[in-house]
Chains A and B, each alone.
Chain A
Amino acid sequence: MKRNAFMGGRIRNWIAAAILALGALAPAAASAQTLLNVSYDPTRELYDAINAAFVADWRAKTGQAIRVNQAHGGSGAQARAVIDGLAADVVTLALAYDVDAIAARGLIAADWQKRLPHNSAPYTSTIVFLVKRGNPKGIKDWGDLIKPGVQVITPNPKTSGGARWNYLAAWAWAKRQPNGSDATAKSFVQALYKNVPVLDTGARGSTVTFAQRGIGDVLLAWENEAFRAINEFGREKFEIVVPTISILAEPSISVVDRNVDRRRTRALAEAYLNFLYTPDAQAIIAANHYRPREPQYAKPADIAQFPKLELLTVDQEFGGWAKVQTTHFADRGVFDQIYTPGAR
C-alpha cells in the first residue's frame, strides 16, 4: 500500500516536472526583427552568403540587428506552402509561374513582376548537362539524351522549377531542329523522359541522386547547381557539357504583400530584395555561379566561368508562363500525356 501511494505521488511529480520543463523549453519571444525568405532548392548557399551581407549592411545603416530565416525546397512545393500559410515575407522562387500561383490567391499584388528591375529577377541561370569525367556516353547536345542506354536524371516538373526549365529547354531545342514542330518536340521529350529512371521532387534531390548515389549518366541541371556539384565532388569526377541551345531561366523574387502587411515587415522585406541588385550582392551572385544582371560588378574571373550559348526565353518561345503551365504542366497537360511512371 505504501509503495502504491508513493507511485501515485511520483506520477504527479512527473507531470509537474514535465510542465515545468515545457515552460523552460518554450521558445523565448524573438526580440530581433526577423524576415523569412522562402526560396527554391539550389539557392541554399547563395542566400547564406546574401543574408550575412544583408544583415551586416542593415546593421551598418540602421543599427538594428535582424535575422533572415531561410526555407528551401522544390519551387512549386514552396509556393504551395506559402499558399497554405507559410508566413514568407519574401519569396525567391525558380520561375515566375510559382510567384504567379501565389499572386492568384491574392497574397501578392498581380503586378509584382513590374515592381523590381529586370522582370523582378536579379539573376538568371540556364540549364546545362553534368556528366561523369571524360563523358563516357559521348553526350554533346540534347539529341544525345534519347539514345538507348542513356539514363537521364531530372526532377519532377510538377514540383520542381528547375525541372520545368529542363523540360522547356529540351522542347525548344527539338522544335528548332530541321522540320521541327510541336509534334516532333513532343515525341522528343517523351523519348527523353523514357530515359529518366527516377524523378526527385527538387533540383537538389536530383543532384544528390546523380552525384552522390551515382545513378544515371547525365544530370540536367541548373548551371549554378552543376558548378556547385563540381566544386563539392571534384573536377576529377564530373564535367559540364554545354548544349547548343538552352533556356534563359529567370528566377523571380517578390515581397509577399499579405504577410508583410500583417507582420509589419514591408520596409525590411523591400530593402532585402533591393539589396539583391546592389554591386555587393551582384558580386556574391556571380561567385555562387548565378549569372548576375549587372556583370560589371562581379569579379571578371567569376564572369569568365559562364559559357556563351544561345539562350531562348519562355516569353518568345512559349508565349509566357501562364500558357506553358496550362499546356504542359497542368493536370492532363502534355507532361501527363507523355510521362507514365514505370512505363519504359
Chain B
Amino acid sequence: MAMTTPTLQAPPALATTTEPPAVRRGLIAGALAFIALFLVMPLAVVLAEALRRGVGTYFEAITEPYTLAAVKLTLIAAAVAVPLNLVFGLTAAWAIAKFEFRGKSLLITLIDLPFSVSPVIAGLIYTLMFGAQGWVGPWLIEHDVRIIFALPGIVLATVFVTFPFVARELIPLMQDQGTDEEEAAALLGASGWQIFFRVTLPNVKWALLYGVLLCNARAMGEFGAVAVVSGHIRGVTNTMPLHIEILYNEYKFAASFAVASLLALLAVVTLVAKVLLEWRFGHELAHNRGR
C-alpha cells in the first residue's frame, strides 16, 4: 500500500506498450476518426437523407405496399435461411470437431467456398441449374415448380451466401473443447441425443448465437446473389436491398434512403445484440476467437 506514485503502480516490466502517451492518443484518435468517417458518417447521411423530406414522407415510404412486400420477403428469406444454416452449421461443426474421418479438410474447404465465391456466381449457379435453359429447370417448369425468379430461388441464394457463418463460428471452439466431456458423458451412460443437448450444445451456445446473428445480418443484406435470381418483380420478388436500388433509380431518393435506414436499423439491432453478448460473455467468445 506504500506504492503511491503511478510509476510504481505500473512497473516497466508489465507495461504492454512502450510508446509515449502522445503516440497512443494519436493512434486512438486516428482509429476513432476512421470509424467516424467510414462508418458513423455514412450511417448519419443515410438517416439525414431519409428524413430530408420530413417524417411524414419517411413513414409513407416505409409503409408503401412495395416496401412492405420487400420487408416481408426479406424476413421470410432470413427466417428460412438462418434456421437451415443453424442446423447445418451445428451438424457440420460437430462432425468436424468431434470425429476423425477421411476428407475432413475437403469438407472444411467446401464449407468456406461461399466466402470465396462471388455472390453473382452463386446466383448464376442457380440460374444454370433451375433456369428454363438449365439442367433441371425445363422439367420443373413443365411441372409448374418455380425455383428461380421466385421465393425458393431467393432462399437458395441466401442460404448459399450465408452457409459458412454458423459452422465457421463453431468449428474452432468445438475443436478447442475436444471430446473429453462427451466421452465422460458416454461413460456415464448418456445417449447420443442426451450428450448433444446436455453437453455439446450448452458448451457452444454463445458462439452458436453469435454465428446465427452474423448469418442473419448477411441474409437480410445480401444483394448480388439475390439480384441474379430475383427477376425484380415489384412487390413479389424484390428484397429490401433490391428495393432500395429500385427506389434510388426511380429518383425517389428520400424513399430509397428511408428503406435503407430501415435495413440499417435491422443491422444495428443485430450488432447491438452481438455487442451485448460480447460484453456479458466476453471470455467464452474470446476463447472462440483465439483460433
Which A residues are within 8 Å of any B CB, using their own CB? 1, 3-5, 7-8, 11, 15, 18, 21-22, 25-27, 36, 41, 44-45, 69-73, 81, 83-87, 105, 204-205, 208, 212, 228, 232-233, 262
Of A8, A15, A21, A85, the contact of B131 (CB 8 Å cutoff): A85
Whether B5 is near chain A, meaning CB under 8 Å from some CB there, is no
Of A71, A205, A262, the contact of B232 (CB 8 Å cutoff): A71
> Which residues in B have their C-beta under 8 angstroms from that of A105?
132-133
Of A8, A26, A205, the contact of B76 (CB 8 Å cutoff): A26
Q: Is the CB of A69 within 8 A of B132?
A: no
A3 → chain B closest CB, angstroms: 7
Q: How large is the interface on B (under 10, 10 to 19, 20 to 34, 35 or more residues)?
A: 35 or more
Q: Is the CB of B235 within 8 A of A11?
A: no
List 12 additional A-B contacts (Cβ < 8 Å) besides A85-B130, A208-B251. Answer: A7-B205, A22-B79, A25-B75, A69-B233, A69-B235, A72-B232, A83-B133, A84-B133, A85-B141, A85-B148, A85-B149, A87-B149
Enumerate B71-90 residues with CB–CB distance to A below 8 Å.
72, 75-76, 79-80, 83
A80 → chain B closest CB, angstroms: 9
A7-B205, A44-B250, A208-B249 known; A84-B236 Cβ under 8 A: no
A18-B79, A69-B233 known; A25-B72 Cβ under 8 A: yes
A70 to B236, CA, bound (A): 9
B228 → chain A closest CB, angstroms: 9
Task: Offer 15 A-B interface pairs, CB within 8 angstroms, sorted by A.
Answer: A4-B201, A5-B198, A8-B197, A27-B151, A36-B233, A41-B249, A44-B249, A70-B234, A85-B131, A85-B132, A85-B134, A85-B137, A85-B146, A87-B146, A87-B149
A69 to B234, CA, bound (A): 6
Residue interface bits B249-282, CB-to-A below 8 A is 1, else 0: 1110100000000000000000000000000000
A25-B76, A25-B79 known; A86-B251 Cβ under 8 A: no
A87 to B144, CA, bound (A): 11
B170 → chain A closest CB, angstroms: 14
Top 10 nearest A-B pairs by Cβ distance?
A8-B197, A85-B132, A84-B131, A4-B198, A232-B251, A86-B149, A86-B231, A71-B232, A71-B233, A204-B249
A41 → chain B closest CB, angstroms: 8
> Which residues in B have their C-beta under 8 angstroms from that of A8?
197-198, 201
Q: Please, which residue of chain B has its CB at the minimum distance from the CB of A8?
A: B197
A28 to B148, CA, bound (A): 19
A45 to B83, CA, bound (A): 39
A71 to B243, CA, bound (A): 11
A15 to B84, CA, bound (A): 10
> Which residues in B have their C-beta under 8 angstroms from that of A1?
198
> Which residues in A have their C-beta under 8 angstroms from that of B246?
72
Q: Is the CB of A69 within 8 A of B236?
A: yes
Whether B202 is near chain A, meaning CB under 8 Å from some CB there, is yes
Of A11, A15, A22, A41, the contact of B80 (CB 8 Å cutoff): A22
Whether B248 is near chain A, meaning CB under 8 Å from some CB there, is yes
A22-B79, A85-B148, A85-B149 known; A70-B233 Cβ under 8 A: yes
Looking at B133, B199, B250, the one whose CB has the most chain A CB atoms below 10 A away is B250
> Which residues in A have their C-beta under 8 angstroms from that of B151?
27
B250 → chain A closest CB, angstroms: 6
> Which residues in A have their C-beta under 8 angstroms from that of B236?
69
A7 to B249, CA, bound (A): 47
Of B75, B130, B197, B234, the contact of A11 (CB 8 Å cutoff): B197
A8-B201, A208-B248 known; A71-B234 Cβ under 8 A: yes
A248 → chain B closest CB, angstroms: 26
